Chain A
Amino acid sequence: MYRSNVLVCGGTGCTSSNSLTIVNKLKEEIERQGLQDEVNVITTGCFGLCALGPIMVVYPEGSFYSMVKVEDIPEIVEEHLLKGRIVTRLLYQETVEEDTIKSLNKTAFYEKQKRVALRNCGVIDPEKIDDYIAQDGYAALGKVLTEMKPEEVIQTILDSGLRGRGGAGFPTGLKWKFAAANDADQKYVCCNADEGDPGAFMDRSVLEGDPHAVLEAMAIAGYAIGASQGYIYVRAEYPIAVKRLQIAIEQAHEYGLLGEDIFGTGFNFDIKLRLGAGAFVCGEETSLMTSIEGKRGEPRPRPPFPAVKGLYQKPTILNNVETYANIAQIILKGADWFASMGTEKSKGTKVFALGGKINHTGLVEIPMGTTLREIVFEIGGGIPNGKKFKAAQTGGPSGGCIPEEHLDVPIDYDNLLAIGSMMGSGGLIVMDEDNCMVDVAKFFLEFTVDESCGKCTPCRIGTKRLLEMLEKITNGQGTMEMIDEMEELCYYIKANSLCGLGQTAPNPVLSTLRYFKDEYISHIVDKKCPAAVCKNLLEFTIDKEKCIGCGMCARKCPASAIAVTDYTAPGKKKPAYAIDTEKCVKCGACMETCKFKAISKG
């Protein structure tokens, strides 16, 4: 029995900042102090506060060490683990209050969170099935198989109000009900782990931190709809998630929690992994199934819906990772418990991946109905460098931008749609005054143009034309008519595309047009980019009154566009420099070099 547990984050974020080296060093130091039988080192999934990684938590004290360096390990081991003196200087400083240390759960980042889907992330060792079982893992599967009829399982999920966490928000219970109603010799349960939205990484964290939760939920779904085979379609770009899933499947087999005659009830269920090759369209349900079948990932027209004819033309359900992560909890704690969280039409919690111009980059799980203001300014710690909030982008390339005026809207599926964005998978990118909204729309359009599979014309050609217009506007060649043309084209693409990719691709353009039309107009009429992002509309100038004539900028300029003038400002010893705008390549090197803030852009 260990007296102390040291949890080190082994999620992708902390791994990339060397947390695995820290684990090795910890083990080495612990052995050196002869503590190996007393202190247990555990590699866990993501804690969520990725901005402060690598993260390390020591229990039973609950001490939260952030941005841990390998050099700090000997001190932490000797002082804290051997002598019981917490190294306060290395703790996450928000947990340190004068001479006491607060619980992590009382910090701004964690206090408003409610972790359901992420409940085991950062708590258990994802590579140990016993850890998951200790947290009541597989008890829901046991309960379902021994006490409940399939219809009762579906009814529980329906009553809970759980909606798909992958984007569209379709009621999960309804999906299961449709698939259960169709008779077939074989049905399939699929898991969409092809998380492709730029900036979203909650599914990766669940898979890395709590893979068994997904396996258990899929088995429950299999029982509910009468399927014996499951597939997890996971991106090959998530190597840690793939590895932990493989280990989890193996361990579940060893324990007989997957395979034949589970819990002696005669129920058989097995899961196979399929690795996606990075096509965004394969996150769309019909493309995903086509890809599992070994064909080129392209969408199919619906109907027939997957519940009727899905994978291999058999009734199939497909749910997203985060959706599955809620299932076992709903079975164990009841539909009422789940439905007690959230808003009237969106129950439970939602995980958001915070990114962009925000202090606490990371993963947060909050009850539905929390406002964007709480997420950005309380949990997320606000905008760095005292900049002003401009907009938050939700839903990735399918979503839209939410401006400041809607910061107090309670976030749920329907409210987000009403203000022209969408939940999507939960990526939340915060933008400040330095972001150009036309450029943001262009960025997402570039992504969808790249990722359009090309099967249907509106998406393949429509998005391309849309992008061309955006490029013209950001280059200063736009006309006011373009705004109307773009809007018309947007609606045309939305109405006529075959799958969700095309149907939602114009959203970033529509929402920025809706809330930030003035920025488009500045680009078109004034030929100015108000945020000073669009290079072709930028002009760098030297304030001749401030320039002291040191010539640093001229030496840095890669285009030799800066030359000395014959004007010397009063009080300055040398003549000022000036930029030849014809030669300027707008790299900004001069501005970075100038110590006297004499160079401005605009």
Chain B
Amino acid sequence: MKSLAELKAIRDRARAEIDLRKENPNAARVLVGMATCGIAAGARPVLNAFVEEIAKRGLTEDITVTQTGCIGICQYEPVVEIEIPGEDKVTYVKVAPEMVPKIVNDHLVNKNVVTEYTIGAISK
């Protein structure tokens, strides 16, 4: 180890893994429906896409991605709910991995709900 910068580089690389093990009550939560219906509709790649995207942007400390069970709207799976403390819960439906970067960028980072992916827009 020749410099502090080198140490910091290792730290930043390793930190995302460790952040997962911390409980941050103020973190935003991304809940991916992973019941049988969700898995069948392709929720797993979506879940993994969220994990990757959030790690890539270094947001692991402020956002947790977890799986949840079926919330009853199986025809709209994969369903993803986003809870930001102090704001209304937003439900995205028929989510595909390609949609994930936009949801992370617009909603989680810039706080603009991606209305066209939400249950309100799609069920109309």
Contacts and interface: CB of A to CB of B under 8 A. Distances in A.
Contact of A131 (B17, B25, B35): B17
Given A83-B36, A256-B1, A256-B2, A134 B7 contact: no
A255 B6 CA distance: 10
B52 A1 contact: yes
A130 B23 contact: no
B8 to A, nearest CB: 8
Interface string A72-96: 0000000000111100000000000
Interface residues of B, number: 37
Contact of A134 (B18, B47, B50, B52): B18
Q: How large is the interface on A (under 10, 10 to 19, 20 to 34, 35 or more residues)?
A: 35 or more
Interface stretch (B62-70, B96-104, B109-117): B62-70
A255 B13 CA distance: 15
A1 B33 CA distance: 19
B16 interface: yes
B53 to A, nearest CB: 9
Nearest to A256: B1
B47 A3 contact: yes
A107 B44 CA distance: 32
A134 B4 contact: no
Contacts of B50: 3
Contact of A130 (B1, B14, B39): B14
A7 interface: yes
Contacts of B20: 2, 4-5, 59-60
A200 B7 CA distance: 35
B7 A133 contact: yes
Interface in A244-300: 255-257, 261-264
A61 interface: yes
B52 to A, nearest CB: 5
A103 interface: yes
Contact of B23 (A62, A82, A134, A135): A62
Contact of B17 (A5, A38, A138, A255): A5
B34 A257 contact: no
Contacts of B124: none
A131 B7 contact: no
A263 B2 contact: yes
Given A60-B65, A83-B39, A139-B11, A7 B21 contact: yes
Given A5-B17, A124-B18, A134-B15, A83 B4 contact: no
Contacts of A256: 1-2
A217 interface: no
Contacts of B55: 1
Nearest to A86: B69
A84 B34 contact: yes
A588 interface: no
Interface string A1-24: 111110100000000000000000
B3 interface: yes
B23 A105 contact: yes
A146 interface: yes
A526 interface: no
Contacts of A142: 4, 7
Instruction: Decide if the interface of chain A is mainly helix, strand, loop or mixed.
Output: loop
Contacts of B47: 3, 38
A7 B17 CA distance: 12
A42 to B, nearest CB: 8
A257 B3 CA distance: 10
A146 B51 CA distance: 36
B39 A3 contact: no
Most buried by A among B18, B21, B55: B21
B75 interface: no
Interface in A567-597: none
A136 interface: yes
Contacts of A123: 18, 21-22
Contact of B18 (A57, A135, A139, A261): A135
Contacts of B35: 83-85
A580 B22 CA distance: 64
A3 B1 CA distance: 30
Nearest to A80: B67
B71 to A, nearest CB: 11
Contacts of B68: 84
B1 A83 contact: no
Contacts of A84: 32-35, 66-69
A293 B33 CA distance: 62
B66 A2 contact: no
A82 B44 CA distance: 9
A359 interface: no
Contacts of B3: 263-264
B17 to A, nearest CB: 7
A40 interface: yes
A134 B14 contact: yes
A83 B35 CA distance: 5
A85 B69 contact: yes
From A61, A105, A261, residue with most partner B Cβ within 10 Å: A61
Nearest to B12: A134
26 contacts: A1-B52, A1-B55, A2-B17, A3-B51, A3-B65, A38-B51, A59-B22, A60-B66, A82-B34, A82-B39, A83-B36, A83-B69, A84-B35, A84-B69, A123-B18, A133-B7, A133-B10, A134-B14, A134-B15, A136-B11, A137-B11, A139-B11, A255-B10, A261-B2, A263-B3, A263-B4
Given A3-B47, A62-B23, A84-B67, 5 more contacts: A60-B64, A60-B66, A84-B35, A134-B14, A146-B4
Q: What are the 10 closest A-B residue pairs judged by CB atoms, nearest first? A: A84-B67, A134-B14, A256-B1, A84-B34, A130-B14, A3-B51, A134-B18, A60-B64, A1-B55, A264-B2
Interface of B: 1-4, 7, 10-11, 13-18, 20-23, 25, 32-36, 39, 44, 47-48, 50-52, 55, 64-69
